[in-house]
Structure 1
């Protein structure tokens, strides 16, 4: 049916008409809250969000918006730091469905991709199909979630732009939809209709080519004199690409246009040879300016990367991720990371040494390290790549913001520019985190702006105006790769002459006569101080430097703290650390790290940590203290698929902990009310386990009866989930006797409720392994950490159990407490200090080790297991252990033990405690499993499986009923008892010749 034209006010009719054409459009309040932000300082609520699946659907949305005068904002990963991806009207999210990568053309080394393809996924696909010989070069720090369309729109670059340049240099052709719905293909020397029979598009292409050629001919001198003067001149439009000497390259002219001229739907991009190996030279300096003075000498040696960062980011990394995350860096207060590529690592390392000889003559380098091991290189690159997120909050909790994060000058002027810029920062009373692509003269900077108070915003405006004049005085660009967006478009007239500003306006009008595409950006700009996300919030509620604290009735509630009062008012604190979210979007990464498993399953923004945090932020903004909490539909929709895996608490660069927010919300909502059945069954399971193990045969039979399973499904427990088998009490007692614990031991073993009930054979195995390390082993008193109470939002119950645990464990010693279930270890370490508080809880938490961590420490002291290692293994790290203890201990243990081939599952298994057992979440649980653990099992079908977490073991048995898994203690057991019975829940077939059976 035809879409009825009307005014912009008739949004309801527009949305309904699009839905009638089966186009996915969402104008719910929750969805609008999610898309009111990107990674910038700005907040603009759209009218609706559309998720087109095809180019034709894009055309229909754009035409409908043109008919009604509604603006259109194209959006990829939503990681813009300049406010390019927020706006009124309809937001077109191309990242959800338009994600096809065509076959690589091996002859031309090019590939066509949809605009929604993530850069990292494209790179992985290219490297896989080429056997590692080719890659896609641009690698901004948002590589794991930024899309092709967004990166072309911003003209992104990345760490290796010294060698490969900007996105402009890699774009050969683009397919686009114009503001009036024409479907065109633009490249070098031409623009044409994709479909020659589409008369409207053919005519539109012809007119555009005529007009754009005339625009270039009429302004040759102006374009040549003011544009493309430095490597990182990204501000404004790239009209230099229209010059005859550049071949009238319309695809490259549209790079950096930020969706203001057309909606880019596909692109043909060039590939480059992948370096065979690289070496990383890390240089330490007295300060950032001193490091910049060596850039030109380094550039002369043709490295592939020159990245700078200051010590403040390193300190944040050390504080957040531990000292070993930065232990490869040299001594210094500022650093340059210089990379060389070569055919062999020896040649690359020799290039590092030759550069050192040159730099020693200048005498500015304080210290250096040369890093050749791939894992160490990756660890150091993560310090640089996480800079934007890590630097969003100082160690003392003060929030920092973008706004002047992306200026650029010619590399030879970088040191002088930095010196002047840092002086300007100091004059305004700010402190700065400074990092960037120093080899290209691009400076990233986060500053502790006060954007909440009127006085603070006035200072922000004054600083920004002066900073713009400063970079222009140094021959630089306001934007070096993020685009102008809302942050810098208003300042373009400081950088360019009136003639160039007029040219920009004419260029946009030729493409978008009505100005409906991303209005207010580059041309006819909105003020850079308008639409600030913090503007309008009560100043007292958000004092500068309070980080993500909130204020309730004059009482400050810190992130992670328990509420001092109960009732609806206290629900304002449920947002917790969600206020720390700045939109970096690491939670939208589809590989690398555990966060966020539900987003990986659904690819829906609402199921990302960022989407959830934005909903919580917006709810506190719009409803103040009158919050509905968990009863609010938007909140329940946003948090329903949160697995409470806690990965966001460690993987999110800003430390957002949605699991804790969800727990507090549920706790608040159900206080004094009847809870769901699963809260009393799974949530109270440790309470029922002693009884159930006494009647284990009857309980196990009952769990398999179809009628009972159907009843359980109606009550919330999935009938499709394989349930664990309870170990009979006599067998459990025999395993406990077998452990033969020493009352005066040096190491204590905590056998949690789940291990006792389902895997008691692990207890004596763990004791034998720890004794083999040279320690005497004892047993802690029986206790419960309250984990299942926390995950089901029963925090008072969890607090009581943790308090009893602390009282029993705080024995006046500092003996390590080795917890066999990693989720319990993580709970005691992380939750006891928060829920119980006090020095005793801190002391007990500090003593807690996961079993893998304890073994890793013993290996570091020189102990080696006597058990024979298998040749290969599959490893699933429990998500809570990853969040609290890190995920490297198991890998190091297996490597040191001698396991040659380890297939690692890189994400949550999908069970995550009660989540995977709940009927409404079973399908999502299995979708999460399909992302990582299922492929890992399939790729190593005969290998033993290591699952210290009981939830992980249950998922393995769900995926393959004939395949069991082992706890690390059972695999390392030096003398397994010949008559020990393996737990029915995790037993597995006899091993192949690849390795011995360590189960018993």
Structure 2
């Protein structure tokens, strides 16, 4: 057996979990037999050319989805074609191996984890094959991401058509997953469920037949395939008989409310439904057959849309108004409560939610039509009607696109935001998907709140109010035995409650491992028997997604938080503020990932740059977090703790950009976790050479500053590549020129700035000139001083400290703490005046890492005063300051915001400052540059670094002329711009705003001259 690199797996790393047998519960003979069968399975897959990976790290990554469950697979396969799927099914059937189909892995019910072979369709089978606007259909592979599908359809049809289902996970969930769960989305009030948009499904059954399910029956996908032809005929007869034998329960128990997703959709086999097998397969959660292709229906896209936001006292009051709102034919009626809004503001700043009316619960109502004026008039009528009802606290129409996007993001990030609340609590799924008729929603929620109170639980509520479907994350304690007993008892009572209200256990996510056990509470024994018979007809081998739907595992089996051993994990970073009572801070931190998978999105935000480059689960924030979670579990896939090779491997391509700390709805901070892990992993071990050449860079700069002419001359010769290689650096990237040790002082002196220690004047600031600026871009220090003076600040300069960033990023935390302690001592001058830092990554280190690594009040005081240069300048501009060179500023600029600036200080500051300076056309690169400090300079990471640049920066440069200024406050970003385009340097905001050297004709002469020298040497 081999791993993803082709190396043989040692005996100790072979899968221990049996094939359809849990090795932990089986005797030694059964375990040995299962392992032999696993080995045979993988040999067959490899021989058939099916990409497969059975490494411990890979199995950890795929042991989880977005649910409460952890089930370790034997291996993960990444089919490229339908033939690969057929071969995988044959190998699994022969060995009795379970198969679990997986798309984006965002299931909250445990549908995407299983004990055998996981088939990840999202890696390769992710193409849009054909779009037919006239027929309003699109042919797709199952791994296509929903947002990608909508985007390609709209592009191909000129915006006239789109694909309607849009769950909040649409930018990472796949078509196959939507089919498996019968996903709906925000606009289901208008467009219904995925089953309403299915024309045909291409399937592979567990016995190897290739069938196509249609709206009127079933046929062999290939008419020349005699086995499949016979199988289609036999299955058609059997399914028809099943329907005829169960006419009464199918008609009386199924299809009663808009969001009745629980169980199989067998009502579609009824004569009045025209024996629609395609719709009957939707929502079967991969238990009937594997979807390998689909023909989906398209809908017209409205020309105009308007979001109306409504504030209420609570969710029950909001739900009372749903019937009245539905009279206005909205496209969407979504809701959320105050806990989610408070968490977003706590995590992303007070300006992260724009345009929210007064209230403690909110509805987002999307109105659409052909004419903007008529849509606005409809919104006015709606607001007037709700005001008459007397429950509305405040309502307003959000016409501004920025407000609209901000409000929708609150709703779309609900699952992650509610998992770790601003109050310090945490919540979990399990009863997050119940549904009732919309007119009964208020009464159901009122009763549910009483039930929560009885069990002393809190439910964080959000969801599809207009469709009667609620996503409620609840404050279970799944780490303790008592808490898990409460989880089981409450969920059973909640199921009984929703059934009394005529509702469904699941309204979108499916039953999976979370609710399948409860189906007998909702359906009669006749209906349950029909479900079981349907599954047996499709999957006689019984290998498709066991544990769900029929013959389910107990809902409290395989809980991921159960069985984590108590152990003290000593960390340098202070993780206590995020910890829950009784949980080790490190364990609690790495368990923050709940699997929603926003890090797998290819648009919006900045994370995760390495995943966007490789599209490999191991390079997503989620993949890394899952391996870390297995590390603290002591799982046999990751047994060595701080010494784990699997953890080191999964962290290797993390750029430590910090974007996840902002973009991840659950607040996962992988840069911090990586630094902490490397600090332990390399204790007593030989570190990579780059940890000395780049990690110790501030020390080397003291030497190079004195010998800059000699060093630069040497590096410009072929010997420079030898020096780079000796330091573990790539020889493909041009090294920067080192500045003379005294140059930054001359720049500061020319700007008329004094050292710290003079009498503090009104509006005084401390300009912190960091190591990178002193060593590589000294001209920026002078420009920054002149801009601050122009903004009305009395400026004093400090440069006698280091933020320790390079030691932090390489996990050398002992040195980092010493340097940060010194920095805190130097900068703590007894005032509260701002400390303005030129380099954004250094500003982020002083603002965030300083108080987390140095646990003193002094560190907290200094951190609170730190601002990035862009943030401070933007504040001055917002207060009325107009930069001096505004009349001569460039018309256009490419904006590359440093990831650390983005994550710690926000993304808007540079844009505000540029607008104030008169820059009218700002091309936002909106993504990581790919260098990220030391990452892009390391020999093993150069290629990925350049792939990351292709996410946003490189296309932005190609789209603009060479005389367009490129704003790169981060030194690493400037180096990537230089690598991509030798004709123009990356400029700091201070250089664009410098009143001493206006930017009408491009870069300052100093910068242009330095860049010319570097370009000639390259």
Output the TM-score relative to the length of structure 1. 0.93
The equivalent residue for 1:389 is 416
Q: Residue 131 in 1 paired to residue 158 in 2?
A: yes
The equivalent residue for 2:751 is 739
Write out per-residue CA displacement over residues 156-206 of structure 1, whole angstroms, 9 at most, x where no aligned residue. 111111111111111111111111121222111132222222221222122
> Is this contact kept in 2: 1:629–1:668, CA < 8 A?
no
Write out per-residue CA displacement over residues 264-307 of structure 1, whole angstroms, 9 at most, x where no aligned residue. 11111122222333222111111111110000000000111111
Q: Residue 607 in 1 paired to residue 616 in 2?
A: no
Which residues in structure 2 correspond to 1:682-701 (within 5 Å)?
A: 682-701=694-713
Q: Residue 347 in 1 paired to residue 374 in 2?
A: yes
**Offset, 1:625:** 15
Tell me the distance in 1 between the aligned counterparts of 2:966 and 2:615.
Answer: 28
Return 474-483 or 385-394, whichever deviates more.
385-394
> Is this contact kept in 1: 2:966–2:987, CA < 8 A?
yes
Which residues in structure 2 correspond to 1:307-386 (within 5 Å)?
A: 307-386=334-413
Tell me the distance in 2 between the aligned counterparts of 1:418 and 1:891.
Answer: 43
Return 5-14 or 808-817, whichever deviates more.
5-14
The equivalent residue for 1:718 is 730
**Offset, 1:17:** 1.6
Tell me the distance in 2 between the aligned counterparts of 1:946 and 1:669.
Answer: 37
Tell me the distance in 2 between the aligned counterparts of 1:940 and 1:283.
Answer: 42
Which residues in structure 2 correspond to 1:702-717 (within 5 Å)?
A: 702-717=714-729
Q: Residue 559 in 1 paired to residue 584 in 2?
A: no
State the superposition RMSD in angstroms.
2.4
> Out of 780, 787, 796, which is 1:769 matched to?
787
**Offset, 1:96:** 0.6
The equivalent residue for 1:621 is 633
> Is this contact kept in 2: 1:957–1:985, CA < 8 A?
no
> Out of 659, 667, 672, which is 1:647 matched to?
659
Q: What SS is found at the alignment partner of 1:982?
A: helix
Tell me the distance in 2 between the aligned counterparts of 1:500 and 1:653.
Answer: 39
Write out per-residue CA displacement over residues 922-944 of structure 1, whole angstroms, 9 at most, x where no aligned residue. 11111111111111111123322
Tell me the distance in 1 between the aligned counterparts of 2:786 and 2:573.
Answer: 46
Tell me the distance in 2 between the aligned counterparts of 1:871 and 1:865.
Answer: 15
The equivalent residue for 2:302 is 275
Q: What SS is found at the alignment partner of 2:168?
A: coil
Write out per-residue CA displacement over residues 217-266 of structure 1, whole angstroms, 9 at most, x where no aligned residue. 33223211111110000000111222222222211111101000001111
Runs (4 or more) in structure 1 with deviation over 4 Å come to 5-9, 550-553, 555-558, 560-563, 572-576, 623-627, 742-745, 977-980, 983-990
Return 52-61 or 247-256, whichever deviates more.
247-256
The equivalent residue for 2:807 is 789
Give the direction of change, closer, same or farther, for the CA distance of 1:600–1:665 in structure 2 (3 Å limit).
same
> Is this contact kept in 1: 2:573–2:852, CA < 8 A?
no
Which residues in structure 2 correspond to 1:182-581 (within 5 Å)?
A: 182-538=209-565, 541=566, 551=568, 559=575, 577-581=589-593
**Offset, 1:828:** 0.3
Tell me the distance in 1 between the aligned counterparts of 2:703 and 2:543.
Answer: 67
> Is this contact kept in 2: 1:609–1:648, CA < 8 A?
yes
Write out per-residue CA displacement over residues 67-119 of structure 1, whole angstroms, 9 at most, x where no aligned residue. 11111000011110001111111111111111111232121122111111111
Tell me the distance in 1 between the aligned counterparts of 2:118 and 2:1009.
Answer: 52
The equivalent residue for 1:903 is 923
Return 300-309 or 695-704, whichever deviates more.
695-704
Give the direction of change, closer, same or farther, for the CA distance of 1:633–1:724 in structure 2 (3 Å limit).
same
Write out per-residue CA displacement over residues 810-849 of structure 1, whole angstroms, 9 at most, x where no aligned residue. 1111111111110001000001111112222111111111
Q: What SS is found at the alignment partner of 2:657?
A: coil
Give the direction of change, closer, same or farther, for the CA distance of 1:756–1:144 in structure 2 (3 Å limit).
same
Return 955-964 or 56-65, whichever deviates more.
955-964
Tell me the distance in 1 between the aligned counterparts of 2:897 and 2:812.
Answer: 26
Tell me the distance in 1 between the aligned counterparts of 2:638 and 2:943.
Answer: 34
Write out per-residue CA displacement over residues 517-553 of structure 1, whole angstroms, 9 at most, x where no aligned residue. 0012111111111111122234xx4xxxxxxxx7459
The equivalent residue for 1:750 is 768
> Is this contact kept in 1: 2:657–2:900, CA < 8 A?
yes
Q: Residue 947 in 1 paired to residue 972 in 2?
A: no
Give the direction of change, closer, same or farther, for the CA distance of 1:510–1:986 in structure 2 (3 Å limit).
farther
Q: Residue 634 in 1 paired to residue 646 in 2?
A: yes
Tell me the distance in 1 between the aligned counterparts of 2:683 and 2:516.
Answer: 50
**Offset, 1:573:** 7.0
Write out per-residue CA displacement over residues 655-678 of structure 1, whole angstroms, 9 at most, x where no aligned residue. 111211211122123334443221
> Is this contact kept in 1: 2:337–2:361, CA < 8 A?
yes
Tell me the distance in 2 between the aligned counterparts of 1:688 and 1:452.
Answer: 48
Instruction: Report the count of equivalent residues.
Output: 968
Which residues in structure 2 correspond to 1:139-158 (within 5 Å)?
A: 139-158=166-185
> Is this contact kept in 2: 1:96–1:603, CA < 8 A?
yes
The equivalent residue for 2:948 is 928
Give the direction of change, closer, same or farther, for the CA distance of 1:574–1:443 in structure 2 (3 Å limit).
closer
Q: What SS is found at the alignment partner of 1:376?
A: helix
Output the TM-score relative to the length of structure 2. 0.92
> Out of 874, 878, 893, which is 1:860 matched to?
878
Q: What SS is found at the alignment partner of 1:159?
A: coil
Q: What SS is found at the alignment partner of 1:339?
A: strand
Tell me the distance in 1 between the aligned counterparts of 2:938 and 2:869.
Answer: 28
The equivalent residue for 1:884 is 904
Tell me the distance in 1 between the aligned counterparts of 2:525 and 2:998.
Answer: 85
Give the direction of change, closer, same or farther, for the CA distance of 1:714–1:552 in structure 2 (3 Å limit).
closer
The equivalent residue for 1:995 is none
Tell me the distance in 2 between the aligned counterparts of 1:562 and 1:464.
Answer: 27
> Is this contact kept in 2: 1:450–1:457, CA < 8 A?
yes
> Is this contact kept in 1: 2:894–2:957, CA < 8 A?
yes
Tell me the distance in 1 between the aligned counterparts of 2:1012 and 2:326.
Answer: 59
**Offset, 1:726:** 1.7
Tell me the distance in 2 between the aligned counterparts of 1:246 and 1:720.
Answer: 63
> Is this contact kept in 1: 2:930–2:936, CA < 8 A?
yes
Q: Residue 982 in 1 paired to residue 997 in 2?
A: no
Give the direction of change, closer, same or farther, for the CA distance of 1:491–1:21 in structure 2 (3 Å limit).
same
**Offset, 1:980:** 5.1
Give the direction of change, closer, same or farther, for the CA distance of 1:803–1:557 in structure 2 (3 Å limit).
closer
The equivalent residue for 1:670 is 682
Write out per-residue CA displacement over residues 422-448 of structure 1, whole angstroms, 9 at most, x where no aligned residue. 110110110110111000000110111
Q: What SS is found at the alignment partner of 2:308?
A: strand
**Offset, 1:213:** 2.3
Write out per-residue CA displacement over residues 426-476 of structure 1, whole angstroms, 9 at most, x where no aligned residue. 101101101110000001101111222222222211111111111011000
The equivalent residue for 1:846 is 864
**Offset, 1:803:** 1.1
> Is this contact kept in 1: 2:574–2:853, CA < 8 A?
no
Tell me the distance in 1 between the aligned counterparts of 2:257 and 2:903.
Answer: 43
Structure 1: give runs of 5+ residues left out of the alignment.
Answer: 542-549, 564-571, 991-1000
The equivalent residue for 2:13 is none
> Is this contact kept in 1: 2:967–2:988, CA < 8 A?
yes
Tell me the distance in 1 between the aligned counterparts of 2:240 and 2:911.
Answer: 59
**Offset, 1:724:** 0.7
Q: What SS is found at the alignment partner of 1:275?
A: coil
Q: Residue 94 in 1 paired to residue 115 in 2?
A: no
**Offset, 1:308:** 1.3
Return 824-833 or 341-350, whichever deviates more.
341-350
Tell me the distance in 1 between the aligned counterparts of 2:262 and 2:522.
Answer: 9
The equivalent residue for 2:5 is none
Give the direction of change, closer, same or farther, for the CA distance of 1:835–1:758 in structure 2 (3 Å limit).
same
Tell me the distance in 2 between the aligned counterparts of 1:527 and 1:804.
Answer: 56
Q: What SS is found at the alignment partner of 2:132?
A: coil
> Is this contact kept in 2: 1:962–1:988, CA < 8 A?
no
> Is this contact kept in 1: 2:662–2:903, CA < 8 A?
yes
Write out per-residue CA displacement over residues 114-157 of structure 1, whole angstroms, 9 at most, x where no aligned residue. 11111111122222222333222111111111011011101111
Tell me the distance in 2 between the aligned counterparts of 1:732 and 1:618.
Answer: 48
Tell me the distance in 2 between the aligned counterparts of 1:87 and 1:949.
Answer: 44
